C-alpha cells in the first residue's frame, strides 16, 4: 500500500487526478469553501432524498459532472473530530470495494486544518478496509483494487500529513500482521509458527530474537508455564524479541503477550459452542508482534523487549488437574483450581522473567477473561494498574490512537479471593469481579517494576458474520511505546 499527500485546496478538488475522490464532510450543510461542482452534486442529491448530512451516510457518483476524478464518494462525518473522520473514511471506502479504482484521493470537504492525526487515521482505516483473510481461503474474492491513497492538503500541512501517513502506515502494517496471525487457525498458528514468524520479523528488521524450548524453560524453573503446556503434544515456545533503538544503559519498555494458540480450557473443558474462537487466544502475542513490527519500522530512540509465552491448553492424560499445585519461576506456589484460567499461569512466569531486563515499565496484553467482556463489552479494552501516572499515559495513547481502553480497579481488597489452603495462591477467585482478580493474580508477580495489564478479551476479535481478528491493541501499544521515547 502506498500513502502520500496530494496538494490542493477544497475549492479546487474538481481538477484533482485520481481514480476516485472521497470527500469527507461534517456539519449539516455544504461548506462555502467546497468546490462548486462537488457542492452542486451534493445539493442535488439532498434535494432528491439521496443524501443526508448524517454520520454514516454516503453518496456515490460515477463520472461526476465537472470532475477530473472518475468516481466521487461523499461521506458524512457528523462531527469535525478525527474519530468521526476515520469512521467516515471507512464508510466512504465501502462503495469502492468491488470497483476498479486503484488510486483514491481523500479530502476534507470543510474549511479547516488537515492534521497528522487525520493522516494516521486515513492510513489505518484504509488498510483495515482492504484487508482480506485468504491464507486458508484462497478463493476469497480480491475485494478491492485500491492500492494507493493520498490525502489532499495544503503546502503548509504537507509535512505533518507525511509524518502522520508514515506513522499510520507502520501501525497499519502491525495491525495487519496481528490480524493475520490471529485469524490463522490453531492447526496452522501453533507456538512453533509464532516462533518462526518472530524470527522472520527479526531477520527483516534487524532485531534480536531468541526462542526458548521446553528444556530451557525447565532449566529456568517456569513450573507454571510448563504446567499449562504439559497437556499438549504441540511443543511450547518462549519467545524473546528485542528492538534496540537507544543506548544499552537505557531501561527498556517490556511488552508481554499471552500466546495460547488454542484454549480448550483443559480438564476444566469449555463448552463446544464458539470454542473455535479460542484460536484467537494468542491475540495478545499477535498484538505484541504487530507493535514490534510498527516500532521497528518507525525506529524511535527506545529499547523494547517483547516476551511471548506460547503453548496450547489441552485436556489429555498428561494435562494438569484441578487441585494440582505448581511452583512458578518466582518461587511462589499456585493451586490450579481451574485449568481454564491458564493465561495467568503462563503470564506469571513471563512477568518474573521480565525482571532480568530491569525494565522502565512492563505492559502485559492478554485475552484473559470472559468477565472483562461482561464488564466492558467489545469497545474498550480493560486496563489495570496501580500506577496513576502510567494509567494516564496509557489512556493518552489510547485517545491518540483511537484505540479505546478503560481503567479498571485494583484495590488490595480483591486479593482476598486468591487465598488457598494448599499453596501461596489459587489461580481463580469467585465469578464476581473475575477480570479484576485475574489482574490481582498477575500483580503478585510484578513487584519489581512499573506495571500495567491490558485485558483484550472483548476487543481482540469480532464474532458473528464478520468474525475475525481486529489487530487491537496494536495502535494503542505503538503510541504508548513512542510516547515512552520522550
Please state whether beta strands 237-244 and 208-212 pair in parallel, antiparallel, or not at all (unpaired): antiparallel
Rounded to the nearest whole angstrom, what is the least distance from the CB of residue 234 to ligand BES in the complex?
Answer: 17
Q: Which of 57, 148, 270, 467 is catalytic?
A: 270
Distances (CA, A) of 275 to 126, 132, 243, 272, 296: 31, 23, 35, 5, 34
Q: Which of 86, 279, 344, 444 is catalytic?
A: 344
Residue 263 engages Zn ion in binding (rule: CB under 5 A): yes
Residue closer to Zn ion, measured from CB, 208 or 431: 431
Residue 367 near residue 360, CB atoms below 8 Å: no
Residue closer to Mn ion, measured from CB, 128 or 263: 263
Q: Which residues bind ligand BES (CB under 6 A)?
A: 263, 281, 338, 340-343, 367-371, 373, 428, 434, 457
Please choose which of Zn ion, ligand BES, Mn ion, none residue 182 contacts, taking the beta carbon within 5 to 8 angstroms, the exact cut-off set by kind.
Answer: none
Rounded to the nearest whole angstrom, what is the least distance from the CB of residue 258 to Zn ion in the complex?
Answer: 7
What is d(CA 75, CA 24) in angstroms, rounded to the nearest whole number? 5
Q: Is 342 exposed, middle or buried (0-12, 13-18, 19+ CB in 10 A)?
A: buried
Residue 204 near residue 324, CB atoms below 8 Å: no
> x/- binding map, residues 313-342, to Mn ion, per CB under 5 A?
---------------------------x-x
Name the 3-class secondary structure at 469: strand
437-443-446 Cα angle (round to 5): 165
Residue 265 engages Zn ion in binding (rule: CB under 5 A): no
By CB under 5 A, the count of residues binding Mn ion is 3
Residue 455 engages Zn ion in binding (rule: CB under 5 A): no
What is d(CA 171, CA 173) in angstroms, rounded to the nearest whole number? 5
Residue 343 engages Zn ion in binding (rule: CB under 5 A): yes
Catalytic annotation present for 199: no
Kindly state the helix (H) or strand (E) to which residue 226 belongs, with its residue range: helix 223-229
Catalytic annotation present for 270: yes
Rounded to the nearest whole angstrom, what is the least distance from the CB of residue 278 to Zn ion in the complex?
Answer: 7
Rounded to the nearest whole angstrom, what is the least distance from the CB of residue 260 to Zn ion in the complex?
Answer: 5
Residue 455 engages Mn ion in binding (rule: CB under 5 A): no
What is d(CA 39, CA 33) in angstroms, rounded to the nearest whole number? 9
Please choose which of ligand BES, Mn ion, Zn ion, none residue 338 contacts, taking the beta carbon within 5 to 8 angstroms, the exact cut-off set by kind.
Answer: ligand BES
- Which residues participate in catalysis according to the annotation? 270, 344
Interface residues with Zn ion (CB under 5 A) are 260, 263, 281, 343
Amino acid at each position: 500500500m502506498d500513502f502520500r499527500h496530494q496538494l490542493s485546496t477544497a475549492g479546487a478538488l474538481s481538477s484533482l487526478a485520481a481514480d476516485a475522490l472521497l470527500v469527507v464532510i461534517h456539519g449539516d450543510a455544504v461548506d462555502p469553501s467546497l468546490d462548486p461542482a462537488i457542492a452542486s452534486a451534493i445539493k442535488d442529491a439532498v434535494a432528491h432524498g439521496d443524501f443526508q448530512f448524517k454520520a454514516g451516510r454516503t453518496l456515490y457518483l460515477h463520472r461526476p459532472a465537472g470532475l477530473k476524478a472518475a468516481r466521487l464518494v461523499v461521506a458524512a462525518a457528523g462531527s469535525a473530530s478525527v474519530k468521526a473522520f476515520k469512521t467516515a473514511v471507512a464508510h466512504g471506502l465501502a462503495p469502492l470495494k468491488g470497483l476498479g479504482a486503484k488510486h483514491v484521493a481523500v479530502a476534507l470537504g470543510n474549511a479547516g486544518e488537515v492534521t497528522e492525526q487525520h493522516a494516521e487515521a486515513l492510513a489505518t482505516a484504509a488498510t483495515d478496509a482492504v484487508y482480506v483473510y485468504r491464507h486458508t481461503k484462497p478463493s476469497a474474492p480480491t475485494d478491492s483494487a485500491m492500492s494507493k491513497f493520498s490525502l489532499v492538503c495544503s503546502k503548509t500541512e504537507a509535512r505533518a500529513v507525511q509524518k502522520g501517513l508514515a506513522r499510520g502506515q507502520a501501525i497499519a502494517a502491525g495491525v495487519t500482521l496481528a490480524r493475520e496471525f490471529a485469524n490463522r487457525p490453531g492447526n496452522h498458528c501453533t507456538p512453533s509458527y509464532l516462533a518462526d514468524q518472530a524470527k522472520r520479523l527479526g531477520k527483516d528488521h534487524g532485531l534480536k530474537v531468541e526462542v526458548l524450548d521446553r528444556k530451557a524453560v525447565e532449566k529456568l524453573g517456569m513450573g507454571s508455564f510448563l504446567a499449562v503446556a504439559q497437556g499438549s503434544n504441540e511443543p511450547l515456545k518462549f519467545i524473546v524479541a528485542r528492538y534496540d533503538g537507544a543506548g544499552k544503559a537505557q531501561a527498556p519498555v517490556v511488552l508481554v503477550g499471552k500466546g495460547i494458540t488454542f484454549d480448550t480450557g483443559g480438564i476444566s473443558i469449555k463448552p463446544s459452542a464458539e470454542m473455535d474462537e479460542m484460536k484467537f487466544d494468542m491475540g495478545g502475542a499477535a498484538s505484541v508482534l504487530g507493535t514490534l513490527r510498527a516500532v521497528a519500522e518507525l525506529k524511535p530512540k527506545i529499547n523494547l523487549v517483547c516476551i511471548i509465552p506460547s503453548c496450547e491448553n489441552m485436556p489429555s492424560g498428561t494435562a494438569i488437574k484441578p487441585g494440582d499445585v505448581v511452583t512458578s519461576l518466582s518461587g511462589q506456589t499456585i493451586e490450579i483450581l481451574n485449568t481454564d484460567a491458564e493465561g495467568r499461569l503462563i503470564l506469571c512466569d513471563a512477568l518474573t522473567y521480565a525482571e532480568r531486563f530491569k525494565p522502565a515499565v512492563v505492559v502485559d496484553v492478554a485475552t484473559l477473561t470472559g468477565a472483562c467482556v461482561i464488564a466492558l463489552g467489545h469497545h474498550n479494552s480493560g486496563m489495570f494498574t496501580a500506577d496513576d501516572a502510567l494509567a494516564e499515559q496509557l489512556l493518552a495513547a489510547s485517545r491518540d490512537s483511537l484505540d479505546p481502553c478503560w481503567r479498571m480497579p485494583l484495590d488490595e481488597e480483591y486479593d482476598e479471593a486468591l487465598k488457598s489452603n494448599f499453596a501461596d495462591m489459587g489461580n481463580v477467585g469467585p465469578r464476581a469481579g473475575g477480570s479484576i482478580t485475574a489482574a490481582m493474580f498477575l500483580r503478585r508477580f510484578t513487584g519489581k517494576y512499573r506495571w500495567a495489564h491490558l485485558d483484550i478479551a472483548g476487543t481482540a476479535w469480532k464474532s458473528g458474520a464478520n468474525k475475525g481478528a481486529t489487530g487491537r491493541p496494536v495502535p494503542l501499544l505503538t503510541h504508548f511505546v513512542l510516547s515512552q521515547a520522550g
